[in-house]
Chains A and B, each alone.
Chain A
Amino acid sequence: MNILEYLKSKTLYLDGGMGTLLQAEGLKPGEYPELWNISHPDVIQRIHRNYFDAGSNVVCTNTFGANTLKFTENELDEIICAAVKNARIASESSHSPQEKYVALDIGPSGKLLKPYGDFEFEEAVTLFSKVVKVGIKYGVDLLMIETFSDSYETKAALLAAKENSTLPVFVSNAYGEDGKLMTGASPEVMSAMLEGMGADAVGANCSVGPDKLEDVVKRLIECSSVPIIIKPNAGLPTSDGKTTTYGIQPEEFSDIMKKFVSSGVRIVGGCCGTTPKYISALYNCTADIVPVPITQKNFTVTASYTKTVKFGNSPILIGERINPTGKKRFKQALVENDMSYILKEGISQQEKGVQILDVNVGIPEINEKEMLISAVTQLQSVCDLPLQIDTSSAEAMEAALRRYNGKAMINSVNGKEESMNTIFPLVKKYGGVIVALTLDEKGIPETAEGRIKIAEKILSRAKEFGIQKKDIVFDTLAMTVSADAKAPEATLSAMKYIKNNIGCHTSLGVSNISFGLPSRDDINSTFFIMALESGLSAAIMNPYSYKMMSAYYSYRALKCQDENCSQYVEFISSLADDNSAGSSPVQSGINPLSSWKADFSSDLQKAIAFGMCEEAGKLTAELLSSMPPLDIVNNEVIPALDAVGQGYEKKAVYLPQLLMSAEAAKSSFEQIKLFALKNRTDFTPKCDFVIATVHGDIHDIGKNIVKLLLENYGFLVHDLGKDVPPEKVVNEVIRIHAPVAGLSALMTTTVPSMEKTIALLKESAPWCKIVVGGAVMTQEYADKIGADVYARDAMDTVRYAQKIFEEIKNK
């Protein structure tokens, strides 16, 4: 019987621990257990058979660490071949009468994926694909992805499983005592992501004993629509100095597991420290329990890598600001590949209170697919909100969905056949909540009825693709009221019908309504409230708009969604904070640089020197009405920075103060950039500077400090990020003919890749001067690897860059 059929009516028993039993059989610490499939097949077969005899329906092959990071492809083939054979022999030789299955066990790679580790997502997919392919070749019944402590790596493994097989896939994660994965995902996040991608069962194993899993079990049952797996450890090992034992004995183990089965867990077994005795006890005390049926949960849920956002009564705000439409400064950031500008836009919207970020980076001048991947992955390294991926390019959409960590919002599909045929397969494969626009080949129907008809068509086509209703959110399209007075009514009544009669959630780009009208915020916020009353679930909106935010908080207070109106009150008092911030005079309070005396000729210089960001921005904006941008830079910003830099060198100013001052200078620069864009003033940077942390090096705080200072001194910094391969540095230097490049390395182990980068630069871009720095770097090292200059800190780099610039200017 197919295992999924079996699961429909029965509780499925998995096996218990392998590693602990192998150690008892003589496996040495640090020795690879997978090799025992070949060297000790009798032992492996006996352990598997004992599990079958104890009542296990499924044994997992002894292949937990079998992958090409540890073994060659030939070894991998031999190991998995032997492992499957061992499990099959055990299955045939056990006389126990239950249905028996062999699962290909797939454990984590042991590496952490980028951005926090050095393992590429696609490398991980390839790694697991190899394991899956070999497993399929030798004939397993299902795939068991287990003990993953990172959501992103879990996604890579599940993707590999889905792309290379049609077998059932069970996915089980290692939750800590805090009920989260090591990288932060909650059970709800994992359930949303894995079910969205088509996992046949989800659950928890390893890390803790069953006593510590009660909360995880409860939450998984509440949110999952597929069978739940629970396979805990026998507690933690303890030692009295002579013998080592696991904390939880078979009887206690099975008592707790019995509760789990009674409450709805359908797939049970044990992990580290458990033995056939545990499985036997587990089987005996749960075999009589009638399995609890699995119910479909009809929640609409989107997820980041740590949190979910559930559609419901309380309106959801989707920040619209990561979008170049009508924003010169944003376009400039895209063209200059200024990722930090985009990230900041994300973080500040989060601070304003949005729950989801819309991400649109499409402009004709750039490669949208590459930019969207960068934006999505980098936003996910600094911001834990779910993202709504917004692009009209299917290719970019797929690339971004693939790399997204969680269950994304997808913006958008519409009633056109072509759109549905392109987008639905992506939703099916990668999971996601999709925004469906009620328009089709004939355009946007004027009437509500027309839009409802399209919605119904979209739903029925989605069903054919296997996409559930709960994963579709309808946008009935806000049209400009100044062009058609009846437009709002059509939008709202279609929305009302879809929410109440079709039972789907709704989303709306609110601001379109006011196009062409003065004081758009007034119209937008009123329309927003009307829409909420008509059943709007989520609004794509501008969180910097006071009126929109005030409408949101007021509405929730009035709708019984804000206990004691406390969030409303908090919102109002945050406005008061905003108003007072930055208004304090520069001279007030204690002089933060009290240990250091310097003269400043203006308030702006003081604001920068004392690290007052808002004040510096404000003063710059004021000054721009009377002084050319370049004069502000040369007469205000740079003298202030120079003075602080000198103070730092004299040890009168500390590093944090130097950095605060640099941040204040940056906010001054931001105003200058905005002004230059608005007034088309020519404001050319000094010269290009390519900067990177070398290949293998995954920390870049030092590099980012250097970048900040260089920008403040007027250089156009091309930041390639961290862990950058030599070729990428060379290509960028050649592309912009950069006169100078800066490389950073933190560890002795990455100096060779710095050396390689320098050699390649000298060969292919001999005009480019190379400055090196970083924790491990010394003058001696720098000379040895052929750098032009060694910079001991950020100011040193700035001085060198200025020297290069002077040389170019004087040529």
Chain B
Amino acid sequence: MSMVFIKSFSAPPIDRTEILRYMGAGKSTDIHEINEALETCLDECEKIDAFTYNVCYCERDVSVSNCYVKTEDLEINSLDLASNLKDCSKIIMFAATVGIKIDRLIEKYSSIGYASKALIFQSIGAERIESLCDVFCKYIKNQYSQAPYNSNIRPRFSPGYGDFSIYFQNDIFRILDCHRKIGLSLCNSMMMTPSKSVTAIIGISKNK
């Protein structure tokens, strides 16, 4: 089954505590000024319908040895990934993005010196993409916990984690055809645009 699938999700609930953490505002939700600024920014996001929640993904059979991960179209030499995928027989490879509008908001405020707003939008974007990944992983978990799979899923693992080289972004983009499927592009520096995007691999195994 080599097909790449596309899935759109509705907006996951907003986790304000996470946003504050990304902002470097600790866990303190009691600072009026910061909360007010955060709410203003969230309103602005809502007003322009700032986010889309799109994922493209494919499933592959995988063979894993102690530092080597192999599918029909990909070979990865990474101890960390291999140990994350230990005992897995399949993987889900995915790319997720919340779209480019948030990049525009960050750029807008950052370029005219409204750094606090830029920081807040940056943090909102980070929380949004992580929440999208969580929702997607939950969706995969549901799918694969049922027959015929009856399997468990591993935590998502992205290029750049541990010794899983960031340059595998090239392969993921080639295999998932991310640009065509969800409008995601890769820069020469391996950064993705839109910036609030994630690529990762999820292991699927019969064991925990």
Known contacts A147-B180, A655-B24, A701-B110; A244/B1 CB under 8 A: yes
- The chain B residue with its CB closest to the CB of A153 is B185
When chains A and B are docked, how far (Å) is the Cα of A589 from the Cα of B36? 13
> Which one of A147, A244, A700 lies within 8 Å of B3 (CB-CB)?
A244
- Residue ranges of A at the interface with B (Cβ–Cβ < 8 Å): 23, 28-30, 108, 110-112, 115-118, 147, 149-150, 174, 176-178, 182-184, 206, 236-239, 241, 244, 339-340, 343-344, 347, 378, 381-384, 589-590, 592-595, 610-611, 654-657, 659-660, 662-663, 666, 696-701, 704-705, 707-708, 711, 746-750
> Which one of B74, B111, B120, B191 lies within 8 Å of A699 (CB-CB)?
B191
Tell me whether A656 and B37 are in contact (CB under 8 A).
yes
> Which one of B25, B99, B166 lies within 8 Å of A749 (CB-CB)?
B166
Tell me whether B115 and A704 are in contact (CB under 8 A).
yes
Count residues of chain B with CB under 8 A from any CB of chain A.
62
- The chain B residue with its CB closest to the CB of A667 is B113
Tell me whether B113 and A666 are in contact (CB under 8 A).
yes
User: Which of B10-18, B26-34, B62-70, B78-86 is the contact stretch?
Assistant: B26-34
When chains A and B are docked, how far (Å) is the Cα of A516 from the Cα of B6? 64
CB contacts (< 8 Å) of A343 on chain B: these are 111-112
Q: CB-defined interface of B86-123 with A at 8 Å, one 1/0 digit per residue?
A: 00000000000001110110111011111110111010
When chains A and B are docked, how far (Å) is the Cα of A580 from the Cα of B112? 24
Tell me whether B183 and A654 are in contact (CB under 8 A).
no
- The chain B residue with its CB closest to the CB of A746 is B191
When chains A and B are docked, how far (Å) is the Cα of A244 from the Cα of B114? 49
- The chain B residue with its CB closest to the CB of A793 is B24
CB contacts (< 8 Å) of B175 on chain A: these are 29-30
Tell me whether A590 and B100 are in contact (CB under 8 A).
no
Q: CB-defined interface of B164-199 with A at 8 Å, one 1/0 digit per residue?
A: 001000010111000110010111111101110000
> Which one of A28, A116, A178 lies within 8 Å of B193 (CB-CB)?
A116
When chains A and B are docked, how far (Å) is the Cα of A610 from the Cα of B37? 13
Known contacts A149-B183, A382-B112, A660-B37; A592/B99 CB under 8 A: no
Known contacts A339-B111, A343-B112, A611-B116; A176/B52 CB under 8 A: yes
- 23 A–B contacts from the bound complex (CB under 8 Å): A29-B58, A29-B73, A29-B175, A30-B175, A108-B179, A176-B52, A182-B100, A182-B183, A237-B6, A239-B1, A340-B112, A592-B34, A595-B28, A595-B31, A657-B31, A659-B119, A663-B116, A697-B191, A698-B189, A699-B195, A700-B110, A704-B118, A705-B119
Chain A min CB distance to B89 (Å): 14
CB contacts (< 8 Å) of B31 on chain A: these are 592, 594-595, 654, 657
Known contacts A654-B23, A656-B116, A656-B120; A382/B33 CB under 8 A: no
Tell me whether A382 and B34 are in contact (CB under 8 A).
no
Chain A min CB distance to B81 (Å): 17
Known contacts A590-B32, A655-B23; A118/B187 CB under 8 A: yes
Listed from nearest, the 6 A-B pairs whose CB atoms lie closest are: A182-B183, A592-B33, A655-B24, A659-B116, A696-B189, A112-B185
CB contacts (< 8 Å) of B1 on chain A: these are 239, 244
CB contacts (< 8 Å) of B207 on chain A: these are none
Tell me whether A654 and B24 are in contact (CB under 8 A).
yes
Tell me whether B185 and A110 are in contact (CB under 8 A).
yes
- The chain B residue with its CB closest to the CB of A19 is B177
CB contacts (< 8 Å) of A118 on chain B: these are 187-189, 191, 193
CB contacts (< 8 Å) of B99 on chain A: these are 182
- The chain A residue with its CB closest to the CB of B181 is A207
Report if B9 contacts A (CB, 8 A).
Answer: no
Tell me whether A657 and B33 are in contact (CB under 8 A).
yes
Chain B min CB distance to A734 (Å): 26
CB contacts (< 8 Å) of A239 on chain B: these are 1, 3, 5
Majority secondary structure, A binding face:
loop
- Residue ranges of B at the interface with A (Cβ–Cβ < 8 Å): 1-6, 8, 23-26, 28, 30-34, 37, 52, 58, 72-74, 99-101, 103-104, 106-108, 110-116, 118-120, 122, 148-149, 166, 171, 173-175, 179-180, 183, 185-191, 193-195
- The chain B residue with its CB closest to the CB of A711 is B113
When chains A and B are docked, how far (Å) is the Cα of A699 from the Cα of B6? 27
- The chain B residue with its CB closest to the CB of A384 is B104
Tell me whether B191 and A110 are in contact (CB under 8 A).
no
Tell me whether B189 and A697 are in contact (CB under 8 A).
yes
Tell me whether B5 and A237 are in contact (CB under 8 A).
yes
Chain A min CB distance to B186 (Å): 8
CB contacts (< 8 Å) of A241 on chain B: these are 148-149
When chains A and B are docked, how far (Å) is the Cα of A38 from the Cα of B199? 33
Chain A min CB distance to B11 (Å): 13
CB contacts (< 8 Å) of B195 on chain A: these are 698-699
9 other A-B residue contacts (CB within 8 Å) besides A182-B100, A241-B149, A592-B33: A174-B180, A241-B148, A343-B111, A657-B33, A657-B34, A663-B115, A696-B189, A701-B110, A750-B189
CB contacts (< 8 Å) of B108 on chain A: these are 347, 381-383
Tell me whether A592 and B100 are in contact (CB under 8 A).
no
CB contacts (< 8 Å) of A111 on chain B: these are 185-187
When chains A and B are docked, how far (Å) is the Cα of A656 from the Cα of B173? 35
- The chain B residue with its CB closest to the CB of A611 is B33
- The chain A residue with its CB closest to the CB of B74 is A30
CB contacts (< 8 Å) of B112 on chain A: these are 340, 343-344, 347, 382
- The chain A residue with its CB closest to the CB of B33 is A592
- The chain A residue with its CB closest to the CB of B2 is A29
Chain B min CB distance to A379 (Å): 10
When chains A and B are docked, how far (Å) is the Cα of A700 from the Cα of B166? 20
When chains A and B are docked, how far (Å) is the Cα of A789 from the Cα of B99? 37
Chain A min CB distance to B19 (Å): 11
When chains A and B are docked, how far (Å) is the Cα of A30 from the Cα of B168? 13
- The chain B residue with its CB closest to the CB of A751 is B189
CB contacts (< 8 Å) of B110 on chain A: these are 700-701, 704
Tell me whether B193 and A749 are in contact (CB under 8 A).
no
CB contacts (< 8 Å) of B119 on chain A: these are 655-656, 659, 701, 705
CB contacts (< 8 Å) of B191 on chain A: these are 118, 697-699, 746-747, 749
CB contacts (< 8 Å) of B106 on chain A: these are 701
